[in-house]
C-alpha cells in the first residue's frame, strides 16, 4: 500500500480546539478579563460561599488556559521556524506569567483558614467542594513550602524568566540546528536529521554508514558542548534557588514532595540498578558474538542482530496496535480506534518539526499525539506507547472533575509501557518468521534497557549534577562529561569503547532541560506496568483495577494509586524483578539464536 505522507489525515487537526485565530483571541481576551476579576477577590475568603466563587473562577481560567496554550504550541511544534507561531506562543507565556501574579495571593490566603474549618466547609457543601478535597488537604500538607503573599508575588514575577533556559535549548537544538548532509555507501546523500540518524543506526547493515552517521550527528552537539553546559548550569542553579526559596532540603525533595514521593524511592532505584548491571554487560557480549564483531562500537548498539529491515507502513502499524489490545475491554478499544482515526496524530517527520514523540492533553477537547514515524519496528512500538498516554488522558478527563483530572508524571508512563507489552505479546504470538521473533525479543530487551536501565542512569546523572549545584561546585562541560564517564563505566564496564563523543549524551536529552527529575519515572512506571501486566496475566479480573487506575486521574497520591493496582514501589523487590526479567530475556534470545545457528 502506497501512502501519501502529505495527506491531511496524517496531520493533526487543531481546528478541534479553535477554528481560527480570531476564536483563539476571544478566549485569550476572556482570560485577561477573568484574571482582573480574580485579582479583585483578594481578601474575600470569609466563608464557604466566597471560597466556592473563587475556586469556580480559577477553574474556569485553568480550563481556558489549556486551550489557548495548546493551539499555538501544537502548531509551533510542527513548524518551529514560523515567526508568527513563535510570537503567539510567547504571548501565551507572557499571559501565564501575569496569571501567576494575579493568583499568587490565593494559596497563602486559603491557608489562613484553619484546616478543621476547611474540612467543615467541604462537608457542608459536598456538591461544590468535595471535588477539591484532595488538593485542598494536600495544600495544608505542603503548607511549610508556601510563602507569604508578598514573597509569592515576588517569585511570580520570575515565572516567565524561568522558562528562558529551555527556550534557549530549544532554539539551539531544534530551531537553529543545522543537520549535516552525508554520502552513504550507496552514493545517496541524506540530511542527517534525528529521525534519519536513528533509522540508520537501527536498520543500516553497512557498518561504515553507521559510523559516519554516528560521528557526523554527534559533531553537532560536541561543537556546542560548552554552550549546552552553560544552559544546563542555569537549569541546575534555577532548581537550587527554587528549592531553597521554598524551604526544601534539596532539589530532589522539591521535585518529589508535591506528589508525596519519598526521596528514598529515588535513591533506592538508582542504587539498586547501579548494583545490578550484570545483565546489561551479558547482553552486550551476546550482541558482539551474534554480530561477530570484536571491536564493538556505539554505532553497533542499535542494529538488529538479524538482517530484518521489514518496513511497517503506518496503516499496518495502526492495525497491529489495535489488534494487540484484544485483552482490553470493548470500550477501551472503541476509544482507541477513535484516537487513531480522527486526526489526533501528526504522523511524519518534516522540516522544522520537533523531534521525538509525545501525547498532550487538551482538557475539554481531546489529546493530541506527535510522532516522527519512519516505518521501523521501533516506530510501531512508539505508536503503541503514545496511544497508551492518550488513552490514560482520555479516561482520566472523562471520569474525573477538572480538579482531579490531571494524573501525575509518576504514573504517566504506566499506560504507555503497558501498551508496549501488549504489542510485544501479540506480535510474538502471531509471528511465524524466525527473524521477526529475534527482532521482537531484541525489542523487548531494548525496551527494558532504554526505558528502565538507561533512564535510571540518566536519573543518576541528574542526581549527581544537581548535587554539584547544591554544593556550590563548579559546573563545566568537562565536569558533566566526567559524571557520564563514571556512570558508563559502571553500567557497561571499563573496557567499553571510548571516543570524544562517548560522554556527551547530556547535551542531547531534552528532559534534562525541560523537565528536571522526570526521567526516573520512566523506570518506576516500567516496573509498575510489568507488575500490573503479570498480575492481569495471572488473573484477568485484575484488568478492572488497572482500568480504574487510568480513570483515577490525580485523585490520590501516585504511590497510593499504584498500591491499589497491586504495585508497591517502596519495595526493592519490585525493581529487582525487572532486572531479573532482562536476564531471562537475554537467555531466551541466546537460545533462539543458537536454534537458528547464529551463534
Phi/psi region, residue 499 (left: phi>0; alpha: psi -120 to 50; beta: rest), is beta
Nearest-CA neighbor of 527 among 408, 395, 417? 417
Q: Which three cell numbers stand for residue 496?
A: 567499553
The C-alpha atoms of residue 450 and residue 452 are separated, in whole angstroms, by 6
Q: Does residue 144 sit in helix, strand or coil?
A: helix
Count other Cβ atoms within 10 Å, centred on residue 459.
24
From CA 571, how far away is CA 238, in angstroms rounded?
32
Q: Please give the grid coordinates belonging to residue 586.
A: 537475554
Pairing of strands 345-348, 368-373: parallel
User: Which grid cell sits at 508?
Assistant: 542531547
Q: Is 588 a catalytic residue?
A: no
Instruction: Give 183's strand partners.
Output: 189
* SS3 per residue for 475-529: CCHHHHHHHHHHHHHHHHCCCCCCCCCCCCHHHCCHHHHHCCCCCHHHHHHHHHH
Residue 375, all three cell numbers: 516505518
In this structure, are residues 160 and 93 in contact, taking their beta carbons and an 8 Å threshold? Answer: yes
The residues, any chain, with a CB within 8 Å of residue 100's CB and separated by 6 or more, are: 156, 159
| DSSP state letter for 171 | I
- Among 418, 414, 412, 443, which residue's Cα sits nearest to residue 428? 443
Q: Which of 408, 410, 521, 502 is nearest to 462 (CA)?
A: 521
**On the CB side of 163, how many CA atoms lie within 13 Å of its CA?**
14
Of 152, 386, 420, 470, which is the active-site residue? 386
- Distance of alpha carbon 464 from alpha carbon 266, whole angstroms: 13
The phi, psi pair for 371, rounded to 5°, reads -125, 165
* Cβ proximity of 512 and 457 under 8 Å: no
Q: Is 190 in a helix, a strand, or coil?
A: strand
Residues linked to residue 182 through DSSP beta bridges, in sequence order:
190
Is the distance from CB of 395 to CB of 51 less than 8 angstroms? no
Residues with catalytic annotation?
A: 386
Amino acid at each position: 500500500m502506497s501512502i501519501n505522507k502529505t495527506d491531511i489525515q496524517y496531520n493533526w487537526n487543531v481546528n478541534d480546539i479553535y477554528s481560527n485565530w480570531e476564536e483563539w483571541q476571544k478566549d485569550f481576551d476572556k482570560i485577561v478579563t477573568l484574571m482582573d476579576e480574580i485579582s479583585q477577590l483578594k481578601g474575600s475568603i470569609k466563608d464557604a460561599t466566597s471560597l466556592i466563587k473563587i475556586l469556580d473562577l480559577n477553574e474556569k481560567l485553568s480550563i481556558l488556559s489549556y486551550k489557548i496554550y495548546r493551539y499555538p504550541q501544537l502548531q509551533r511544534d510542527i513548524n518551529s521556524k514560523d515567526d508568527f507561531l513563535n510570537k503567539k506562543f510567547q504571548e501565551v507565556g507572557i499571559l501565564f506569567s501575569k496569571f501567576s501574579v494575579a493568583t499568587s495571593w490565593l494559596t497563602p490566603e486559603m491557608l489562613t483558614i484553619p484546616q478543621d474549618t476547611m474540612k467543615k466547609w467541604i462537608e457542608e457543601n459536598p456538591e461544590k467542594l468535595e471535588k477539591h478535597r484532595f488538593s485542598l488537604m494536600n495544600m495544608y500538607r505542603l503548607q511549610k513550602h508556601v510563602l507569604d503573599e508578598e514573597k509569592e508575588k515576588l517569585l511570580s514575577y520570575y515565572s516567565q524568566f524561568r522558562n528562558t533556559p529551555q527556550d534557549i535549548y530549544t532554539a539551539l537544538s531544534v530551531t537553529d540546528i543545522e543537520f549535516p548532509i552525508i554520502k552513504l555507501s550507496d552514493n545517496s546523500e541524506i540530511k542527517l536529521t534525528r529521525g534519519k540518524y536513528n533509522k540508520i543506526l537501527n536498520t543500516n547493515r553497512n557498518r561504515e554508514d553507521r559510523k559516519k552517521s554516528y560521528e557526523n550527528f554527534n559533531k553537532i552537539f560536541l561543537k556546542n558542548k560548552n554552550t549546552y553546559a552553560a544552559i544546563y548550569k542555569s537549569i541546575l542553579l534555577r532548581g537550587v534557588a527554587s528549592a531553597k526559596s521554598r524551604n526544601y532540603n534539596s532539589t530532589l525533595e522539591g521535585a518529589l514532595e508535591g506528589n508525596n514521593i519519598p526521596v528514598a524511592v529515588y535513591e533506592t532505584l538508582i542504587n539498586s540498578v547501579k548494583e545490578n548491571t550484570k545483565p546489561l554487560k551479558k547482553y552486550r557480549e551476546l550482541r558482539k558474538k551474534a554480530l561477530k564483531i570484536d571491536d564493538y562500537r556505539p554505532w553497533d548498539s542499535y542494529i538488529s542482530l538479524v538482517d530484518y529491515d521489514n518496513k511497517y507502513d503506518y496503516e499496518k502499524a495502526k492495525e497491529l496496535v489495535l489488534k494487540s489490545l484484544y485483552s482490553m475491554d470493548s470500550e477501551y478499544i472503541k476509544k482507541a480506534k477513535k484516537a487513531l482515526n480522527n486526526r489526533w496524530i501528526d504522523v511524519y517527520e518534516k522540516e522544522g518539526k520537533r523531534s521525538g514523540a509525545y501525547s498532550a492533553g487538551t482538557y475539554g477537547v481531546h489529546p493530541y499525539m506527535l510522532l516522527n514515524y519512519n516505518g521501523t519496528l521501533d516506530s510501531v512500538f512508539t505508536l503503541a506507547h503514545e496511544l497508551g498516554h492518550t488513552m490514560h488522558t482520555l479516561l482520566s478527563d472523562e471520569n474525573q472533575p477538572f480538579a482531579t483530572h490531571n494524573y501525575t508524571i509518576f504514573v504517566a508512563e504506566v499506560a504507555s509501557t503497558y501498551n508496549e507489552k501488549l504489542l510485544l505479546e501479540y506480535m510474538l504470538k502471531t509471528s511465524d518468521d524466525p527473524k521477526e521473533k529475534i527482532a521482537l525479543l531484541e525489542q523487548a530487551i531494548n525496551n527494558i534497557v532504554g526505558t528502565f536501565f538507561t533512564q535510571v542512569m540518566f536519573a543518576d546523572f541528574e542526581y549527581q549534577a544537581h548535587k554539584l549545584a547544591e554544593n556550590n561546585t563548579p559546573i563545566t562541560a568537562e565536569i558533566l562529561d566526567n559524571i557520564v564517564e563514571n556512570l558508563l563505566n559502571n553500567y557497561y564496564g571499563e573496557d567499553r569503547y571510548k571516543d570524544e563523543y562517548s560522554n556527551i549524551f547530556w547535551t542531547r536529552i531534552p528532559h534534562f532541560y525541560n523537565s528536571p527529575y522526570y526521567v526516573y519515572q520512566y523506570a518506576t512506571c516500567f516496573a509498575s506496568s510489568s507488575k500490573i501486566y503479570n498480575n492481569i496475566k495471572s488473573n484477568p479480573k485484575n484488568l478492572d483495577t488497572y482500568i480504574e487506575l487510568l480513570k483515577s486521574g490525580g485523585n490520590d497520591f501516585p504511590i497510593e494509586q499504584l498500591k491499589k493496582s497491586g504495585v508497591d514501589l517502596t519495595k526493592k523487590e519490585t525493581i529487582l524483578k525487572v532486572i531479573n526479567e532482562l536476564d531471562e530475556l537475554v537467555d531466551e534470545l541466546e537460545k533462539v539464536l543458537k536454534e537458528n545457528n547464529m551463534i
